[in-house]
Amino acid sequence: MERFRPVWAEVDLGALKRNYARIQSYTKSELMPIVKADAYGHGAIPVVRAFKELGAKRFGVALLEEALEIKQEFPDLELMVIGASPEEHSGTMVRENIIAGIFSLSQAQALSKAGVEQGKTARVHIKIDSGMGRIGVRPDEWKEILKIAQLPNVLVEGIYTHFATADHADLTFARKQLDRFQEIIAKLERKGLQIPFKHAANSAAILHFPEAHFNLVRPGIILYGLPPSQHVGKDAGLEPVMSWKARVTHVKTIEAGETVSYGRTFRAAYQTRVATIPVGYADGLRRALSNCGEALVRGERSTIIGRVCMDQTMLEVTKIPGVEVGDVVTLLGQDGQEQIDATEMAEWLNTINYEIVCDISKRVPREYVE
């Protein structure tokens, strides 16, 4: 995308690759990078290409559309839809050899039908609801998996679950989930069903729950250099991959008593220098940052003043000498000795860093550096 507006996000592929290598040092299991939501806002195709260069062969996405986009560019990769796979698209799943995460007999039957019609095998991974309470086969429904395994043209290649609290300091509930998952696997094996791939570990579990690694793990947020929570990952040696920048488009001085932006929520207490940048909530800079968020200008912290607009935001730069039109403003990233990352921005908003990077909209061009 050609850039006409001075707003962009830089994605450091070198940092991305170093994170992958660092994560690999935490486990002996195969990594299945999770690249859903356009690789958490970083750009799925460049991110997948970088991991492919490091030897990754299997990737997880949330939607069939995401799998098809990657498959078009990298037809040889193993792609798994880890979320719900609609039955009406079973034919496409089988035709494109995309692995389906399933949790019902009816899903499996639809895939079986498509497999028979196409003369192909539908590969599935069975999702177990061990305590997340979202999707999955419940523990008391485990015999349904035996029925799925008996369907024609269906291969139960994997079984998996997802932890609700692996990012907590207390792993008591996560261990209960792991026990439930292992009990189901044991029951299936006693019935003669051996499933090749078993996976449960998300980013947090990779870092501090090694007994949950099995032979496949699913790194997500840690690939992009961000900790899963305040309790896990801060000292994991990861590097934030994305920075977000804009250039100043206007600088002015307002007098005491003058106001800035919609609703006049900021009123100057003294003569104030104001810098405007051409980025706003349509780009993912949340309106809730009005009068409280910060950005970096010339290596110094500056406060957002007034309400964040759809396309523009104002900063106070009174104590930062020499600010002028064209100066780079860092919304996420490092400038001099100062740094703002998605985790800090998330704390201002009482949310999580995942949401920050995923929310940076498509109209912010990604630029890839190494």
Which residues are marked as active site?
A: 36, 262
DSSP state of 331: E
92, two tokens: 């496409």
> 279, 246 in Cβ contact below 8 A?
yes
Sign of CA dihedral 355, 15, 333, 281: negative
Q: Across the chain, which distance is largest between two alpha carbons, in Å?
A: 79
Q: Burial letters for 97-135: b for 16+ Cβ neighbours within 10 Å, e otherwise?
A: ebbbbbbbbebbbbbbbbbbeeeebbbbbbbbbbbeeeb
Q: What is the DSSP string of 46-103?
A: HHHHHHHHTT--EEEESSHHHHHHHHHH-TTSEEEE-S---GGGHHHHHHTTPEEEE-
> 305, 291 in Cβ contact below 8 A?
yes
